[in-house]
Amino acid sequence: MIFLDNNATTKILPEVIEAMLLDLDGIPRNPSSVTFLGREAKQKIIEARRFIANYFGLLPDEVYFTSGGTESNYMLIQGFQKRKQGPIISTQIEHASALEALRPFKPLYLKVCEKGSPDPKELEDLLNRVTPSFVMLSGANTETGVLLPLDEIASLCNAHSTPLVIDGVGLLGKVSCKNLPKGVSAISFSGHKFHGPKGIGLAIIRKEFKIPPLFKGGHQERGMRAGTENLPAILGITKALSLIDETAFLKMETLRNYFETLLLKEIPTIEINGQNPRLPNTSNIYFKGISAETLLIKLDSLKLIASLGSACSSGTLEPSHVLLNMGYPKERALSSLRFSLSRFTTKEEIEQSVKLIKNCYCLLTHL
């Protein structure tokens, strides 16, 4: 099997599983208990939170554990809207978890052209005219891989004293997320996107921003998220974070570029969706004249795993909302596939993938 769908999920690393086993040994530890077992579990969470905070250059009290990116996005969107009433600024190319959470508030949407990310100039003009409750944007679009000009956007929001909430799920493990820009007020992450476990995420909220919890109950997570902490997953996401190898970012980009160059040589009509700088591992490719879904099924039968786009949108026959809102026609959206590498993808896998894609493409176009 060749797995080129790493923006949907990644393989969990053996070291991560080993870390999780420290609390999957059958001993009933409850971090809320005052017993020695509870204190032991609580200490592990304290250490994990401290490590994560140090990684991002933050305070431990700014780190919250959640069940994943979707919950983190909901928590941040709902919380920041309740904190200060007003319009929200976003785009229509956000992940489904953000779009659905935003929809009831009728956001002001920034335009996104074929470059694949909003124009900071348009945001600046809008900030000069309205006082939003916050701005919500993806650090990277997980379908096209196009990166948000984060430093520039953060600087703009900071200058206008406007909170900036970032969906960072697509960033971690692909670009450096250490020392977040000052203008980033809050950001979400998900463990299974960078070789950690599923069912665990992070919501990072700067200490100067106080928001209400998404739901209430127990005192866990300093009252921000009720419910017994998922200690094995917390240990797992912390270990996965410690294993991120930033030297591999360039390797991914080199392999991604090699993949696109080889594929363009074999199928000269392909085009890349998204013109701005991208994640180093992502290629969203337009295969003119064929159904991307049919191509995906054929590749899947040959054990080459790719994607039509976001995993949360799979199973639908609708064209990608991301590509449509970038201004691409429906035909192009229905003829595009996403290939996303990991730091463990090999050159041999890339070369084999290109052969398989070319063979399937020729079969579908009768070339």
Contact call for residues 250 and 118 (beta carbons, < 8 A): no
| Cβ atoms within 10 Å of 317's Cβ, excluding its own | 7
List, as one string, the DSSP characters of 165-217.
EEE-TTTBTTB--SS--TTEEEEEEEGGGGTS-SS-EEEEE-TT-----SS-S
Parallel, antiparallel, or unpaired: how do β-strands 336-340 and 282-286 relate? Answer: antiparallel
- How many Cα atoms occupy the beta-carbon half-sphere of 153 within 13 Å? 27
Q: By C-alpha distance, which of 170, 150, 151, 191 is closest to 95? A: 170
**Known catalytic membership, residue 177:** no
Write the CB contacts of 175 (distance below 8 Å, at least 6 apart in sequence). 140, 147, 249, 279, 280
Longest dimension (CA), the chain: 71
Q: By C-alpha distance, which of 343, 276, 345, 336 is closest to 310? A: 336
What is the spatial distance between Cα 173 and Cα 132, in angstroms, rounded to a whole number? 31
What is the spatial distance between Cα 40 and Cα 43, in angstroms, rounded to a whole number? 5
Q: Which two tokens stand for residue 39?
A: 């204190």
Q: Please return the burial class of 19, using the count of CB atoms within 10 Å of its CB with bins 0-12, 13-18 and 19+.
A: buried
What is the spatial distance between Cα 72 and Cα 60, in angstroms, rounded to a whole number? 17
What is the spatial distance between Cα 215 and Cα 218, in angstroms, rounded to a whole number? 10
Parallel, antiparallel, or unpaired: how do β-strands 304-305 and 2-3 relate? Answer: parallel
Catalytic one of 113, 312, 360, 362: 312
Q: Which residues are catalytic?
A: 312
